[in-house]
Amino acid sequence: MASLKRSVGSDPLAANISSKVYVRSTKSGKVQKIVREVYLRQDIPCSSKLCQSCLKVTPRDAAGRQIPFVLSEAPAGTSVFPQGHYLVPDTNAFLSAMDLFEQSSAFYDVIVLQIVLEELRNRSLPLYNRLVGLTKSEDKRFYVFFNEFRLETHVAREEGESVNDRNDRAVRRAVAWYGEHLARTKAKKGPAVVMLTNDRDNLRKAKLEGIHACSLAEYVKQLKDGDRLLDMIPDTEDRDAIKEKRPNELLYPEYLTMSKMMTGVKSGLLHQGTFNVSPYNYLEGSIRVPAFPKSLIILGRENINRAVDGDLVVVEVLPRDQWKEPSTKVIEEQAITRNENPDAEGDDAVSERERKALQEEAKRTQSKTTEGHAQPTAKVVGVIKRNWRQYVGHIDQSSVIQSAQQGQKQDTVFIIPMDKKIPKIRLRTRQVAELLGKRILVTIDAWDRGSRHPVGHFIRSLGELETKAAETEALLLEYDVQYRPFPKTVLDCLPKEGHDWKVPESIDDPGWRGREDLRGLLICSIDPIGCQDIDDALHCRPLPNGNIEVGVHIADVSHFVKPNNAMDTEASVRGTTVYLVDKRIDMLPMLLGTDLCSLKPYVERYAFSVLWELTPDADIASMRFTKSVIKSREAFSYEQAQLRVDDISQQDELTSSIRALMALSKKLRQKRMDAGALSLSSPEVKIQMESETSDPIDVKTKEHLDTMSLVEEFMLLANISVARKIYEAFPQTAILRRHGAPPKTNFDELANQLRVKRGFELSIESSRALADSLDTCVDPNEPFFNTLIRVMATRCMMAAEYFCSGTQAYPEFRHYGLACEIYTHFTSPIRRYADLVAHRQLAAAIEYEAVGPGVRSRGRLEAVCKNINIRHRNAQMAGRASIAYYVGQALRGKTTEEDGFIMKIFSNGFVVLVPSFGIESLIRLRDLAEPEPEATFDAENYVLAMSGSKDLKVELFQKVRVKVMDRKDVTTGKRGVKMEFVKAY
Amino acid sequence: MPLDTSAYSLALLRVDGRRWNELRRIHAQIRTQAAADGSSYLEMGHTKVMCVVTGPSEPGPRRGTAGAGAAGASKAVAEVAVSVVVAGFSSVDRKKRGRNDKRNLELQSTIANALAASLHTHLFPHSVIQVSLHVLSQDGSLLAALINAATLACVDAGIPMTDYVVACTAGSTSTYAAGDESADPLLDLNHQEEQELPGLTVATLGESDRVAVLVCESRVQVGRLEGMLAVGVDGCKQVREILDRVVRDKGKRMVLEGTVAKGEGLEDMDLD
Ligand SMILES: [Zn+2]
């Protein structure tokens, strides 16, 4: 009987094969042992241009191409390594200071070890992607050295050695190998190979082994602009010191281990969800979990336990006697922690004030008899995933010690993020003097138990506060909008003819294949004034049988943007065009968006057309889809079109056809309303700009014109028709848009307010019922009241979202707001990526082109949907923030009195909405009079009665007169709209 | 967790350190079970399989195995009956596969058809060649390993055949969705690569370019297929070299040990 045991000894290859064993736990909590083979080799080059011996062994790909060597033959030197050097950072160096490596002033010729890349990928995917991006950049010269696969640098884990120790040893081994290897080259004085690590133990061992090693700070000090760069290094040493100094003074409870959290969540004892901070109270957060119909409230710093808005956390529900009502008091971080000293860590005076603020809250809740309103409370016991990003903010002037403003000493200051939901960030910098009064970009590094505030580091300055450039960039960064110019690879995908591109004259040209010639139709477009990216155009004409042919023609973007090329990838990352007041950040390059795709008048353009035969009652008799060539006769603005329709003397064919479209659109609208479509509202305003300087001069509320509904109705009809068609063709992978029915509890508060204050009943069984009951909420004396209620109702709604049809059951497709079964976006492919995908799917569905992988792969589509949902939301918020900023700028130096309405009421203040500016602002009791008036708050009836220094009673929905002005807050240096109470009506 | 297959482009190295055109280590033995008519043990990387061949012999009562060749009444040729048993411990998540698992049935019938193409089954009418395969460990390219092991066991059993049926897998360095037309082809996929990348299994008859099996279960652009197939066929030739060496070494040892007499056709064998 022959032994089956592998005869390792006799195998010549065996010495070069190693195994990698590791343990991983799956999502379901199972533990798996994975064994992988590793083939060790000697043909992995060092990639230094100095080295001749590696040239011979450089690998080739299947096409015989070699990867060119990366590391420079004459790398830059530092004060300690004047002969030049290559850097070998460890994982923590990248984790803590990736921004440093992206600098253009230093950090060239970097060797990224495979083990470091692996560890980085496990710790942070975004950072991994940034690093991979750096390795692809030609001028940064980052080389990935696969140390784990090279025979000489492979390191086996020793018995009793921790994984981290082994990996550190692997890094040192690789550094040592590089040193020996380069010494063998002919260069007289070769570059030094320098390891970068902040781990003290690792540094010590490196010194023992005789290899060059520096901590990040030591290294940066050797560079020319060291002081500037030094700020970008997180202060780990400092934090270690604090830990050692005061082990007992920990401010926050410890987090549970990951496995404890997982078992807790699985058994239902703990709950997992995304942590959201209340916009009015920085000490109150909420988290929605499936087990409770109402969201859980998390009150107080200790219970919030270092969670930051957006983090994925695990919470434990507190006992029922600690359940509370949501806060009715405004608590602002700035007001409470204003005098905090950034150097003093455990200053209890501040937390005392916080506790007092919350205590008053608790007292109020305790005295209440209405148990039914109490909401479950919870505390954070652990964080699964941080959602930290880069934050825009500015230095809190009051946290700066005067004397420090000159010296180069490192100072600790507070950064106040633009986003109010983010706590202040503690930061050490040497450049306080330069950074004061600037918008700066910072990041959070850590939040230890011993530190009241998160600790971060400086990335870069955006410029002076309140300058247009700085504020616009701040806004784009804050909403993660990709605003860099399109790279060359993207521009290379554009048609070579540029602006001279034309629809080919000859019908035999391949561009005409499968296209219908609709150039003879009287097509026109109707858009806002100054619209350059014209997505859609319309036509209609009577048919002999008494029906009417209507066509919606959409820019044929998918003709120019082919799947998977660089332009498509860029567009899918951007997801949408972002409109700011004075700036548009395009999804596609200008050439396409405003010229070749844009359905401009008087020129021929490719289009994707939806053609219906409608009966005079606007019922669909038949419909079809086709790629086409059109020639728009005119590009109207809404106002122009409206004037034309209203002017009876205009009897030309084009105007009559717009009138016919108008008549049909009204019937379509009526049908939608009958089906229960909601007419929701958000206050929309328009900024009027001085055309020369583009400075805002006035704010106007948007006017609604019939021509706007005209376009909207036909776009809805086209979107619905296309949604049906692509769903029929691709039941699993159609890209659709849904709008979920809002949970009943969302409306509890509003329904109660309406019942108590006005005696209206809000029924929410269906969108129809909601629409009808919203219609009844009318105050005969106050025409705006209905709009106010609609504004408030809109905020109770869910957000609409893109999804891939295979991920939901058909009933879930429903669009609640539009009251239709199925819906997608098709009509704006120039500015929305979802529409572009829908175009490709429709083209495949009508067999105009082959079914591409982007259309078929469900996983890919889900990823696309996820991204564009986020981009879409960010774009909306960026747009709103931009309007808010310009409203403030338009008001600069002016004071006006306006009417407003109270839309939210707290025990120490109330929120007023001013419709004419579309802004809302908080008016606190202490703003009303000095000293702060006494107040009794009747939460049941939403009435706040003041006495003492000011005699006043305000209630919800009340109309008030306010003075609107802009004011620069002295402490925060932030300019914003402020309201001052004038009188109640 | 190691990097995934997308890191290939960084240095033209695969997840286990191989280049695009390299096989994993193949280790094989024949005549591992002295009592069986033919037997073999084969490793391709961490994929480990065993094979036992019984026959040609008279057919017993029918079992639930996939057969090729003679079916039903006309028993002019021998039937090749293949059974594959996958050990529960062979893969990471210890999934138990039933005897009638669809994938298993498909494996069996693919192997049976591949062997029937090479074995001279017409020499053994009214009989059955029973091929039993056991999967001990899985790390990708399972079908290829099974075909190679079955070939070796048939050689060991002394069943006349035209040539070795040798198999290996081929893949491509980027996913279908990435649509990268310049992707490199890959030889001999391991489990991780099989999970993440498109791939196919190809088997050829010996050194010829005659393809006996071609199975592609993943989606891949047709433009990349030719490159993958070429690499796969080339890999099959390398596998044949290795298997042939195993057979010759074993034969040489048996002659030296005196287990068998040096017979005709062995003159060219180097016995020093
Ligand atoms: Zn070298």
A61 contacts in B (CB within 8 Å)?
12, 20, 184
CB within 8 Å of chain B, chain A residues 863-892: none
Q: What is the chain A residue with the closest CA to B175?
A: A853
Q: Is the CB of A129 inside 8 Å of chain B's CB atoms?
A: no
Determine the Cα angle at A878 with ends A874 and A880, to 5°. 120
With CA atoms as reference, the chain B residue closest to A12 would be: B25
Chain B residue closest in CA terms to A13:
B25
Task: Give the distance (Å) from ligand 1 centre to CA of residue A772.
Answer: 77
Per DSSP bridges, beta strands A523-527 and A515-517 are unpaired
| pLDDT tens digit sequence for A15-42 | 566 766 666 665 566 677 778 888 888 8
The rounded distance, in Å, linking the Cα atoms of A422 and A439 is 16
Residue A841 confidence (pLDDT) above 90: yes
Neighboring chain B residues of A853 at a CB cutoff of 8 Å: 176-177, 179, 219, 221
CA–centroid distance, residue A52 to ligand 1 (Å): 7
- Residue B235: list chain A partners with CB under 8 A: none
pLDDT tier at A2 (50, 70, 90 boundaries)? very low
The confidence score (pLDDT) of residue B166 equals: 95
pLDDT score, position A10: 43
- Chain A residues within 8 A of B32 when measuring between CB atoms: 2, 4
Partners of residue A122 in chain B, C-beta under 8 Å: 1
Give the mean model confidence (pLDDT) for residues A425-441.
84
Tell me the pLDDT band of B187, cut-offs 50, 70 and 90. very high
Q: How far apart are CA A206 and CA A169, in angstroms?
A: 9
**Residues from chain A contacting residue B11 (CB–CB below 8 Å):** 44, 59, 67, 144-146
**A4/B11 CB distance under 8 A:** no
State the best of A16, A36, A38 to mutate against chain B, taking most chain B CBs within 10 Å.
Answer: A36
Q: CATH topology for A39-59+68-233? A: Rossmann fold (3.40.50)
Q: Is the pLDDT of residue A925 over 90?
A: no
Question: What is the C-alpha separation between A499 and A596, in angstroms, rounded?
Answer: 7
DSSP-based three-state secondary structure for A522: coil
A528: pLDDT strictly greater than 90:
no
pLDDT of res. A6: 44
Which of B22, B25, B51, B141 to probe the A interface (max A CBs under 10 A)?
A: B25
All CATH 2.40.50.690 domain ranges of chain A, comma separated, are 247-385
Is the Cβ of B179 closer than 8 Å to some Cβ of chain A? yes
- Residue A718 predicted with pLDDT over 90: yes
pLDDT at A830 over 70: yes
- The answer, for A110 touching chain B at a CB cutoff of 8 Å, is no
Mean pLDDT of all residues in B181-192: 87
**Residue pLDDT, tens place only, B208-224:** 889 999 999 888 888 88
A180 C-alpha to ligand 1 centroid (Å): 10
B207 to chain A, minimum CA–CA distance in Å?
Answer: 22
Give the pLDDT confidence of B220-249 residue by residue, as tens digits.
888 889 999 999 999 999 999 999 999 999
Smallest CA–CA separation between A88 and chain B, in Å?
17
- Kindly indicate whether the domain formed by A893-984 is annotated with CATH number 2.40.50.140: yes
CB contact under 8 A, A144 and B11: yes
Across the interface, of A14, A34, A563, the residue whose CB is closest to B92 is A34
pLDDT recorded at residue A408: 55
Indicate whether A189 pLDDT > 50.
Answer: yes
Q: Which residue of A has its CA nearest to B181?
A: A564
Q: With 80 as the cut, is the pLDDT of residue A819 above it? A: yes
User: How far A858 CA lies from chain B's nearest CA (Å)?
Assistant: 10
Termini Cα distance of chain A: 103
Q: What is residue A462's predicted lDDT score, i.e. its pLDDT?
A: 87
The lowest-confidence range among A345-349, A449-453, A588-592, B78-82 is A345-349
Residues B98-113 have a mean pLDDT of 86
Question: What average pLDDT score do residues A941-952 get?
Answer: 82
What stretch(es) of chain A map to CATH 3.40.50.1010? 39-59+68-233
Which residue did the predictor score with more confidence, B233 or A968? Answer: B233
For A236-377, list the strands marked E by DSSP: 270-277, 284-287, 296-299, 312-317
Mean pLDDT to the nearest integer, A289-305:
84
Cβ separation B12–A67 shorter than 8 A = yes
Question: What pLDDT score does A837 carry?
Answer: 93
Instruction: Of A53-67, A640-654, A706-720, B243-257, give the lowest mean pLDDT range.
Output: A53-67
Flag if B16 and A24 touch (Cβ within 8 Å): no
Query: How large is the average pLDDT for residues B98-111?
Result: 85
Rounded distance between C-alpha atoms, residue A359 and residue A361, angstroms: 5
Gap from CA of A143 to ligand 1 centroid (Å): 13
> In this complex, which of A6, A20, A148 lies closest to B27 when CB atoms are compared?
A6
Indicate if the pLDDT at residue A404 is higher than 60.
no
Asked if pLDDT for residue A406 goes beyond 70, the answer is no
Average pLDDT, chain A: 82
Cβ <8 Å between A564 and B179: yes
Measured CA to CA, the distance from residue A876 to residue A860 in angstroms comes to 24
Long-range Cβ contacts of A385-390 (<8 Å, 24+ apart): A385/A311, A385/A312, A386/A308, A386/A311, A387/A274, A387/A308, A387/A309, A387/A310, A387/A311, A387/A312, A388/A308, A388/A311, A388/A443, A388/A444, A389/A443, A389/A480, A390/A441, A390/A442, A390/A443, A390/A459, A390/A477
Among the partner-chain residues B24, B93, B177, the one whose CB lies closest to the CB of A860 is B177
The amino acid present at A284, given as its one-letter code, is E
pLDDT at A842 over 90: yes
Could you give the ipTM of this predicted complex? 0.86
In the predicted model, is pLDDT for residue A700 greater than 70?
A: no
Q: How far is the CA of A134 from the centre of ligand 1 (A)?
A: 22
A23 touches chain B (CB under 8 A): no
| B91 touches A: beta carbon within 8 Å | no
The closest alpha carbon to A553, from A850, A851, A826, A845, belongs to A826
Instruction: Confirm or reject contact between A149 and chain B (CB < 8 A).
Output: yes
Distance between Cα A128 and ligand 1 center (Å): 26
Could you say which of A11, A30, A35 has the minimum Cβ distance to residue B46?
A35
Confidence class for position A516, pLDDT limits 50, 70, 90: very high
User: Does position A502 have pLDDT exceeding 80, yes or no?
Assistant: yes
Model pLDDT, residue A244: 45
Q: Which of A17, A37, A851 to mutate to test the interface with B (most CBs of B within 10 A)?
A: A37
Condensed to tens digits (0 to 9), the pLDDT of residues A89-141 reads 999 888 888 888 888 888 889 999 999 998 888 887 778 888 888 888 878 88
pLDDT (tens digit per residue) in A878-902: 888 888 778 777 777 778 888 888 8
How confident is the model over A577-596, as pLDDT tens digits? Answer: 998 887 889 999 999 988 99
Give A302-305's long-range contacts (Cβ < 8 A, gap of 24+): A302/A251, A302/A252, A302/A253, A302/A379, A303/A377, A303/A378, A303/A379, A303/A380, A304/A275, A304/A380, A305/A252, A305/A253, A305/A255, A305/A379, A305/A380, A305/A381
Tell me the nearest-neighbour CA distance from B213 into chain A, angstroms.
Answer: 24
pLDDT band (50, 70, 90) for residue A242: very low
Closest-CA residue to A200 (of A309, A115, A90): A90
Touching check for A564 and chain B: CB below 8 Å?
yes
Contacts of A324 (CB under 8 A, 6+ apart): A297, A299, A361, A362, A365, A374, A375, A377
Any B CB within 8 A of A226 CB: no
Statement: residue A758 has pLDDT above 90: no
B141 CB neighbours in chain A (<8 A) are none
Q: Which amino acid is at A127?
A: L
Question: What would the CATH number be for the domain defined by B15-253?
Answer: 3.30.230.70
- What is the share, in percent, of chain A residues with pLDDT greater than 70? 86
Pairwise CB contact (< 8 Å): B3 & A118: yes
User: With contacts defined as CB-CB under 8 Å, which chain A residues touch B25?
Assistant: 11, 13-14, 17, 37, 39
Return the pLDDT at A975: 65
Q: Which of B8, B92, B187, B224 to mutate to test the interface with A (most CBs of A within 10 A)?
A: B92
Q: Give me the residues paired with residue A696 across strands.
A: A689
Share of chain B above pLDDT 70, in %: 85
Q: Which of A119-128, A252-261, A716-725 has the highest mean pLDDT?
A: A716-725
Q: Which of A748-752, B104-108, B241-245 has the lowest mean pLDDT?
A: A748-752
Average pLDDT value over all residues in chain B: 85
In A, minimum Cα distance to B16 occurs at A38
Look at the pTM and tell me if it is higher than 0.90.
no
Contacts of A6 in chain B (CB under 8 A): 27, 43
pLDDT at A917 over 90: no
pLDDT at A4 over 50: no
Distances (CA, A) of A109 to A47, A72, A75, A137, A143: 10, 7, 7, 12, 8
Cβ–Cβ contact A850 with B under 8 A:
no
Contacts of B93 in chain A (CB under 8 A): 30, 32
- Residue A847 clears pLDDT 70, i.e. is over it: yes
The model's confidence at residue A371, banded by pLDDT at 50, 70 and 90, is very low
Chain B hits for A24, Cβ within 8 Å: 1
Whole-number pLDDT of residue B67: 55
* Tens of pLDDT, residues A608-647: 999 999 999 999 999 999 999 999 999 999 999 999 988 8
Q: Which of the four CATH numbers 3.30.360.10, 2.40.10.10, 1.10.10.410, 2.40.50.690 does domain A247-385 have?
A: 2.40.50.690
Give Dmax (Cα) for chain A. 107
| A41 has a chain B CB within 8 A of its CB | yes
Give the model's pLDDT for residue A714.
93
Distance (Å) from the C-alpha of residue A23 to the closest C-alpha of chain B?
A: 9
How does residue A349 score in pLDDT terms, banded at 50, 70 and 90? very low
The Cα A434–Cα A411 span in angstroms is 13
CB-CB under 8 Å, A63 with B3: no
Distance from CA of A628 to the nearest CA of B (A): 28
Q: How many residues does chain B have?
A: 272
